[in-house]
């Protein structure tokens, strides 16, 4: 009996997907609920499991093909694996001898099962540490350099200071002696072409993934359909950094997670969103929809592109809950295990480009949202405090917003409120 493998329901507004890759090939034995094919949608990647145990007999949709919901992916023949397993099983029949004595020993010609040997072999497999032997070998030995009579004092000094591998230097002096000029000539040697150029040629063309296509499409739509404007401010991170330093150990021991910066920014954003509801709203035709709930989207960079999962009902979460949920969702994103539900329902976005070293940026809206907050790296900068120049850890903030429903006064005041709550985090606990 053959069972069909169909494209499952992918979620709201998603009608098709791309077959990313088959995890099994035709003829492979599969178990029930074992992932056998990976699909790529506009938002997430998902694995389709085998409906039954058996053998993958047919693949109808090849890698790279576009399939709709309910389309036939392939077929699995039921119970073929069980039959195969039955054939492979070798039973040891007891031999009945005289006086009804049962002999449980194996026949002489049969080999005894090597169960214990296999276990021992598995245990003996150890992961060896990576040793950079080539790098070590490439370093010249200082003793050898000093004792090499063929090198002049000037050459030995240059070799020693610059850690030059003299074995790669061709000497032009008498009897192949390395001269100072030979070392200087190394500066004029053209470097080899890049490894990618050697491997792939001058150009390489790779089809955009469905996720990358969707990202490009949505960002372009945001630029074309929204009246984008960005306002900036800066925040002194001294108090937050001191609070984290003083309470990090106790916080981690109690809640099992580190106290990061994101929980402070989420809390500060929610306070500002409650005071400026237009930033938490969206446009539907000629109607403004004000959201009285606060689902904070946060950008996560993965190998396959940028995804924006959602922290649901963030206003009802504690600092510890925020950190736990962000950690859990981020790990799911990097492992490619996000679901459609993880990406839907956001009302405001926080993007942290600072983890990659960004000093300043103008983030693009995550439609249909009306606001996105950009975080950046923290750098010690000279600032004037009480008439004195002091060095403080400063972060630049950027708020991009839809000017169609958010006025300049609202946007500036919104960002200023975030700044005030971050510079004095006690306000977040006192609700002022």
Every domain of the chain and the residues it spans: 2-85, 140-186, 210-430
Pick the CATH number of 2-85 from 3.40.50.1820, 2.40.50.100, 3.90.1150.10, 1.10.3720.10: 2.40.50.100
pTM: predicted TM-score of the whole model, two decimal places: 0.61
| Top mean-pLDDT range of 163-177, 328-342, 345-359 | 345-359
How much is the pLDDT for 242?
94
How much is the pLDDT for 42?
65
Whether residue 232 is predicted with pLDDT greater than 90 in this model: the reply is yes
How much is the pLDDT for 104?
52
How much is the pLDDT for 282?
93
DSSP letter string, 41-69: -SS-EEEEEPSSSEEEEEE-S-TT-EEET
Domains 2-85 and 140-186 share a fold: no
Catalytic site positions: 403, 407
Per-residue model confidence as pLDDT tens digits over 242-258: 999 999 999 999 999 99
Distance CA 1, CA 139 (A): 65
What CATH number was assigned to the domain covering residues 140-186? 4.10.320.10
> In the chain, what percentage of residues exceed pLDDT 90?
36
87 alpha carbon, distance to own chain's centre: 44
- pLDDT class for 127, splitting at 50, 70, 90? very low
Per-residue model confidence as pLDDT tens digits over 112-121: 544 444 444 4
How much is the pLDDT for 290?
95
Q: Which CATH superfamily is domain 210-430 in?
A: Chloramphenicol acetyltransferase-like domain (3.30.559.10)
How much is the pLDDT for 392?
96
> Mean pLDDT, the chain, as a whole number?
80
How much is the pLDDT for 288?
93
Written as six digits, the tokens of 383 are 């600032």
How much is the pLDDT for 134?
41
Quick one: average pLDDT of 148-154? 72
Query: Which of these, 237, 228, 280, 225, lies nearest to 414 by C-alpha position?
Result: 280
| Bond into 368 cis (ω within 30) | yes
How much is the pLDDT for 236?
96
Whether residue 147 is predicted with pLDDT greater than 50 in this model: the reply is no
Whether residue 80 is predicted with pLDDT greater than 50 in this model: the reply is no
DSSP letter string, 228-242: EEEEEEEEE-HHHHH
3-state SS of the chain: helix, strand, coil percent to 5?
40, 25, 35
How much is the pLDDT for 254?
94
DSSP letter string, 382-410: EEEETTEEEEEEEEEEEEEEETTTS-HHH
Query: Which of these, 9, 20, 28, lies nearest to 62 by C-alpha position?
Result: 20
Q: Are 400 and 235 in contact (CB under 8 A)?
A: no
Per-residue model confidence as pLDDT tens digits over 416-429: 999 999 999 988 88
Give, in order, the Cα–Cα distances in Å from 162 to each of 142, 149, 169, 187: 11, 19, 13, 12
What is the DSSP-derived secondary structure letter of residue 286?
T
Give, in order, the Cα–Cα distances in Å from 345 to each of 301, 306, 340, 365: 19, 17, 10, 15
CA 16, 21, 23, 28 torsion-angle sign = positive
- pLDDT class for 370, splitting at 50, 70, 90? very high
How much is the pLDDT for 256?
93
């Amino acid at each position: 009996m053959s069972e069909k493998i169909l494209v499952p329901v992918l979620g709201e507004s998603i009608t098709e997907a791309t077959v990313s890759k088959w995890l099994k090939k035709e003829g492979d034995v599969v178990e029930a609920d074992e992932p056998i094919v990976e699909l790529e949608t506009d938002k997430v990647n998902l694995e389709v499991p085998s409906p039954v145990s058996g053998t993958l007999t047919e693949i109808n949709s090849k890698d790279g093909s576009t399939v709709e919901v309910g389309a036939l992916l392939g077929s699995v023949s039921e119970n073929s694996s069980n039959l195969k397993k039955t054939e492979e099983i070798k039973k040891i029949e007891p031999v009945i001898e005289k006086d009804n004595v049962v002999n449980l020993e194996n026949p002489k010609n049969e080999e005894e099962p090597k169960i214990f040997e296999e276990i021992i072999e598995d245990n003996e497999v150890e992961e060896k540490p990576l040793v950079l032997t080539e790098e070590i070998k490439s370093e010249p030995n200082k003793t050898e350099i000093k004792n090499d009579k063929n090198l002049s004092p000037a050459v030995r000094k240059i070799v020693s200071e610059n850690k030059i591998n003299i074995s790669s230097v061709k000497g032009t002096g008498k009897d192949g002696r390395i001269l100072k000029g030979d070392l200087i000539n190394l500066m004029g040697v053209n470097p080899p072409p890049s490894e990618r150029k050697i491997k792939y040629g001058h150009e390489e063309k790779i089809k955009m993934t469905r996720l990358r296509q969707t990202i490009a499409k949505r960002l372009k739509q945001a630029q074309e359909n929204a009246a984008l404007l960005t306002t900036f401010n800066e925040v002194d991170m001294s108090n937050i950094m001191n609070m984290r330093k003083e309470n990090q150990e106790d916080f981690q021991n109690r809640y099992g997670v580190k106290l990061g910066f994101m929980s402070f920014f989420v809390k500060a954003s929610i306070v500002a969103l409650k005071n400026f509801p237009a930033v938490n709203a969206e446009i539907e035709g000629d109607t403004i929809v004000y959201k009285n709930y606060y689902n904070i989207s946060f950008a996560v960079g993965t190998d396959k592109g940028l995804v924006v999962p959602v922290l649901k009902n963030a206003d009802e979460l504690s600092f510890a809950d925020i950190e736990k949920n962000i950690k859990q969702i981020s790990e799911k994103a990097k492992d490619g295990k996000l679901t459609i539900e993880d990406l839907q329902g956001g009302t405001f976005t926080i993007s942290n480009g600072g983890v990659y070293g960004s000093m300043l940026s103008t983030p693009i809206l995550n439609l249909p949202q009306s606001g996105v907050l950009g975080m950046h790296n923290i750098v010690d900068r000279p600032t004037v405090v009480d008439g004195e120049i002091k060095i403080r850890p400063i972060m630049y903030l950027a708020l991009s917003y839809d000017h169609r429903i958010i006025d300049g006064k609202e946007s500036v005041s919104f960002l200023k409120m975030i700044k005030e709550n971050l510079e004095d985090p006690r306000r977040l606990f006192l609700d002022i």
